[in-house]
Structures are given as C-alpha cells and as structure tokens.
Chain A
Amino acid sequence: MVRVEFLGPIQKDALELNITNLNELAEILQKDKELSEWLQNSAVAVNDTIVSSLDITLHDGDKVSLLPPVCGG
C-alpha cells in the first residue's frame, strides 16, 4: 500500500492506496471534485523528496505528499 498525505490547508484525511505509480494516483485523485483546485497548485513529494514528473514507480510502504502553495515567515 502507498500512503497519500494532504498537507497544510487541504482538509482531507490520508489515503492508503494500492497503486504502482503516480499516473494511477493522478487518475484516482482527479475523480474527487473537492481536490481539483489543489491538484492544479500543489507540489508532489515521494518519500519527502519533491518530484517534477509522474513517471515514478511506487512501492509498498512509499509515502506521497501533496504540498499546496506555501507562505512562511
């Protein structure tokens, strides 16, 4: 299973999904209308490293995080 976490202001509980890559995750999350804006403006991290492509294989125990727009300070 892959754990998917929604950080900061995205008010959504973590998911445990049986997926093998980020393209599958995109397909699943795009079906959730409440997430559509967040998907457009959030960065994606796999095991706490930000990625720039969906062509990434996921393994059992991996963690994917969605990081919405930031504003520290």
Chain B
Amino acid sequence: MLSLYDGALDVPKILKEWYESESHSNYGAYIPFVGTVRSEDGIDGLSFDIYEPILESWYDVWQKKAQQRGAIIKMAHSRGDVMLHESSYIAAVFSPKRRVALEFIDEFVEDFKASAPIWKYDLIDNKRVYAQDRSTAIKGSGILGVKK
C-alpha cells in the first residue's frame, strides 16, 4: 500500500490505520519508520516533488520482494511543503517474525533514499532550494552526458 498526501502526514492516524488493517493477519511483527523534519541549517521546512509512475513501479518491485519473504510493506509520503517537526515519510514492514521485518525495513528505506523518484527542497525565506548536496544520482545516471 503506497499512499501520497498533500502536506504533512498525520502520523498517529496512519500508524493506527495500518495497525488495524493487519491486526488479524497473523503477523508477529510491525516495524514502522517515521521520518520527521528536523530544525537544521536555518530551514523553515522541506518541500517535495514526486514522479508517481516510476515511484509506483519501484514500490511494486519491493512489495513483491517482501511477499517472497512472507512480509508486506506500507509506505506514505508527502507532496509539497512539510514544516519543522512534522512528518513527510512513513514506511512499515509487517512479517511473521521480527528478524525479517527488522532487516527488510533497513534494505527498503536505503533503496528508497537511493532510487525513489522524489526530489527534496529546503524551504528558506519563502524560497524552495533544491537539496542537491543531500541527493543521490539514480543508478545508471549520466548516459545522456557521454560525448561520442
């Protein structure tokens, strides 16, 4: 389940919905990761652009990987502006036993950071500044720049 929201995430509501949706699915472990916007470098908040067609296909690949290990994933992300101390990202893994969920949440969030087509901007003085120094080029980038 991939859910995109305009603005900040309602963390208690989303975690509760996910918990209740799987409370009778016989999973022994529910491991959520909640990302919160921190105050640093004078920012007022963060802002996000998302390219949904590729995000959805990337997510489907991970859902299949989870299913192969008897687990499922859920993810929520914000579009647009998210202010300090609000949440822009929640990911969770449900699995029969805790070890799979603990390992899988780590692998999933790492690849999310490296591959999911989402762009982050700092909100500073009412301007949106691309967070280029914290961004990662997707694997295989640069092919159009190679000179013949």
Residue pair B131, A26 in contact (C-beta under 8 Å): no
Per-residue contact bits, chain A 5-38, to B (CB 8 Å; 1 contact, 0 not) = 0011100000000000011011101100000100
- Would you give the shortest CB distance from B136 to chain A, in whole angstroms? 6
Q: Are B143 and A67 in contact (CB under 8 A)?
A: no
Residues of A within 8 A of B112 (CB): 72-73
B residues 85-126 touching A (CB-CB < 8 Å): 88-89, 109, 112-121
Inside 8 A of B121's CB, which chain A residues have their CB? 9
Q: How far apart are the CA atoms of A45 and B134 in the complex, in Å?
A: 22
State the Cβ distance, B120 to closest chain A Cβ, in Å. 4
Q: Which residues of A contact B147 (CB under 8 A)?
A: 30
The interface residues of chain B, by DSSP majority, are classed as mixed
Question: Could you tell me the distance in whole angstroms from the C-beta of B148 to the nearest C-beta in chain A?
Answer: 7
- A69 is contacted by which of B54, B137, B146, B148 (Cβ under 8 Å)? B137
Residues of chain A within 8 A (CB-CB) of B145 are: 26, 30, 36, 39-40
Q: How large is the interface on B (under 10, 10 to 19, 20 to 34, 35 or more residues)?
A: 35 or more
Q: Decide if B131 touches A71 in the complex (CB within 8 Å).
A: yes
Contacts of B77 in A (CB 8 A): 72-73
A40: B residues at CB distance < 8 A? 141-142, 145
- A25 to B143 CA separation, bound complex (whole angstroms): 11
Complex contact B118–A72 (CB within 8 A):
yes
Report how far A56 CA is from B32 CA in the complex, Å: 40
CB-based contact A70/B116 at 8 Å:
yes
Pairs of residues from A and B, 6 with the lowest C-beta to C-beta distance, nearest first:
A72-B118, A8-B119, A39-B145, A69-B135, A43-B138, A9-B130
The interface of chain B, by Cβ under 8 A from chain A, is 35, 48-49, 51, 53-54, 57, 77, 88-89, 109, 112-121, 130-132, 134-148
